[in-house]
Amino acid sequence: MNLIESLEWRYATKRMNGEQIPEEKMNNILDAVQLAPSSYGLTPYTVIVVQDPTVKEKLSPQCYNQPQIKESSALLIFAPWKNINDGHVDTYMQEIATTRGIPVEALVDLANSIKGKIKSSTPEELHVWASKQAYIALGFGLAAAAVEAIDSTPMEGFNPAGVNEALGLEAKGLSAVCMLALGYRDAPQDYLANAKKVRRDKEKLFITF
């Protein structure tokens, strides 16, 4: 399938059969998430990959017992950093310098631009900003899963505080905002498996100037 065919095929899978995703396909999805763009390239979030059934069991009550949590092969939990600071920027500048073989001093203007953004924003504004970047990565994960013929479900229906506590995210300076369940559809149990996809008509969705 090409990209559009893959996106036509995918849907928000409600029931999964527990079958495990092959390592190569899983790695391709994670690579796509890693390659997602973010503001300044900072990537101010961490992605927790949950495959352990015991951990899924622990998370299930915090996700209102939605079956995908335990039936999935893997859960990706996108968690923005709670305290974005100059140290994060300095680490990122060093990564750029090392990767591109340039002196870190050449990145002073970029570093100051990002640090200015941090200093001029409230913690709440920074959380919204970081969350938006995490959602871009979620979208890349969804598209990559479709290309790999892996079913997926983007999820916001969970208790963030409960998920944070279950995974010890507070201590890591993280807070979960969205999830991506990955696996294989259990078509006989899923009422949406054969439903036609409904989207707004292009004539209504797009405005062209």
Kindly report, residue by residue over 31-60, the tens digit of the pLDDT: 999 999 999 999 999 999 999 999 999 999
Q: Is the pLDDT of residue 77 over 90?
A: yes
Label residue 1 by pLDDT band (50, 70, 90).
Answer: confident
Give yes or no for a contact between 118 and 86, defined as CB atoms under 8 angstroms apart: yes
Q: How far apart are the first and last CA of the chain?
A: 32
Structure tokens that stand for 7 in this block: 């996106």
Provide the CATH number for the domain formed by 3-205 in this structure. 3.40.109.10
**Whole-number average pLDDT of the chain:** 98
**The pLDDT of residue 143 is above 90:** yes
Determine the pLDDT at residue 183: 98
Q: In what order do the strands lie in the sheet with 151-155?
A: 45-50, 74-80, 178-183, 151-155
Rounded CA gap, 185 and 64, in Å? 20
Would you say 105 and 68 are in contact if contact means Cβ atoms under 8 Å apart? Answer: no
Task: For the chain, give the percent of residues with pLDDT over 70.
Answer: 100
Question: How far is it, in rounded angstroms, from Cα 88 to Cα 97?
Answer: 14
Global pTM? 0.96
In this model, does residue 136 exceed pLDDT 90?
yes
pLDDT in tens, 78-110: 999 999 999 999 999 999 999 999 999 999 999
| CB count in 10 Å sphere of residue 174 | 21
**pLDDT (average), residues 161-182:** 98
Predicted confidence band of residue 63 (pLDDT cuts 50, 70, 90):
very high
pLDDT tens profile 180-207? 999 999 999 999 999 999 999 999 999 9
Q: Tell me if residue 192 falls in helix, strand or coil.
A: coil
Q: Are 138 and 154 in contact (CB under 8 A)?
A: yes
pLDDT of residue 70: 98
Provide the b/e sequence for 104-118 (b: ≥16 CB within 10 Å). Answer: eeebeeebeebeebb
